[in-house]
């Protein structure tokens, strides 16, 4: 079983821009509830199917598989409900860690978040100066939740 341990943050500035080239993402959900999510994703020109379990603390089980791009497109177009996630992901190495900055578009335009994946829940890391407030425990920032309640519908967009 693969285990994902990640923390999520809002951005505190534009200092991350220019540190990496972005890759376009499109993703939708075949299933999205508290116990599990099944996601179809296109990242650049590659397709993926990902199954995630319920979050316990900062961790959850995660299984990801490459799938043919044409299958991912067909599932997004015919099986995954709208709205879907449109974003650009920037992968930025920093102090021995990888930060993934997601800049959202479409109905989530204006939202930018950064994630860091860890080996342990108590792992110590240094935050770049462009990292702001942590939103790890706020379910509104989960990508699956952003499909159901897009950022443009939020009354308080700073969380």
Here the CATH number for the domain that contains residue 32 is: 2.40.320.10
| pLDDT per residue as tens digits for the range 74-86 | 999 999 999 999 9
Tell me whether residue 29 is one of the annotated catalytic residues.
Answer: yes
Whether the CB-CB separation of 6 and 137 falls below 8 Å is answered with: no
Spatial CA neighbour of 31 closest among 46, 47, 50: 50
Total domain count, the chain:
1
The pLDDT mean for the chain works out to 94
Mean pLDDT of 117-140: 94
pTM of the predicted structure, to 2 decimals: 0.93
Q: Is residue 138 part of a domain?
A: yes
pLDDT bin (cut points 50, 70, 90) of residue 17 is very high
Domain residue limits at 20: 3-153
Q: Is residue 23 part of a domain?
A: yes
Q: Is residue 88 part of a domain?
A: yes
Q: Is residue 122 part of a domain?
A: yes
Report d(CA 117, CA 119) in Å as an integer: 7
Beta strands in the chain (DSSP E): 3-11, 22-32, 36-43, 46-53, 59-67, 85-94, 97-104, 112-117, 131-134
Catalytic residue among 29, 65, 90, 142: 29
Answer with the residue of higher pLDDT: 26 or 158: 26
Q: Is residue 72 part of a domain?
A: yes
Report d(CA 71, CA 4) in Å as an integer: 25
The pLDDT of residue 79 is 97
| pLDDT per residue as tens digits for the range 41-73 | 999 999 999 999 988 888 899 999 999 999 999
Give the torsion sign (CA, 150, 5, 96, 50): negative
Q: Is residue 159 part of a domain?
A: no
The pLDDT of residue 34 is 86
Q: Is residue 14 part of a domain?
A: yes
Q: HSE-up of 29 (CA within 13 Å, CB side)?
A: 16
The pLDDT of residue 158 is 60
Residue 159 has pLDDT above 60, yes or no: no
Q: Is residue 158 part of a domain?
A: no
Whether the CB-CB separation of 122 and 7 falls below 8 Å is answered with: no
């Amino acid at each position: 079983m693969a285990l994902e341990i990640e923390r999520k943050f809002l951005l505190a500035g534009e200092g991350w821009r220019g540190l990496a080239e972005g890759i376009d993402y499109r993703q939708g959900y075949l299933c999205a509830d508290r116990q599990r999510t099944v996601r179809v994703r296109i990242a650049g020109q590659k397709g993926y199917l990902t199954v995630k379990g319920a979050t316990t603390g900062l961790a959850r089980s995660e299984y990801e598989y490459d799938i043919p791009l044409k299958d991912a497109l067909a599932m997004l177009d015919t099986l995954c409900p709208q709205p879907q996630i449109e974003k650009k992901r920037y992968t930025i190495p920093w102090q021995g860690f990888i930060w993934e900055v997601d800049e959202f578009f479409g109905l989530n335009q204006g939202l930018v978040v950064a994630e860091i994946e860890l080996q342990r829940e108590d792992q110590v890391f240094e935050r770049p100066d462009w990292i702001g407030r942590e939103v790890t425990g706020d379910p509104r920032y989960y990508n699956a939740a952003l499909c159901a309640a897009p950022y443009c519908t939020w009354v308080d967009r700073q969380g």
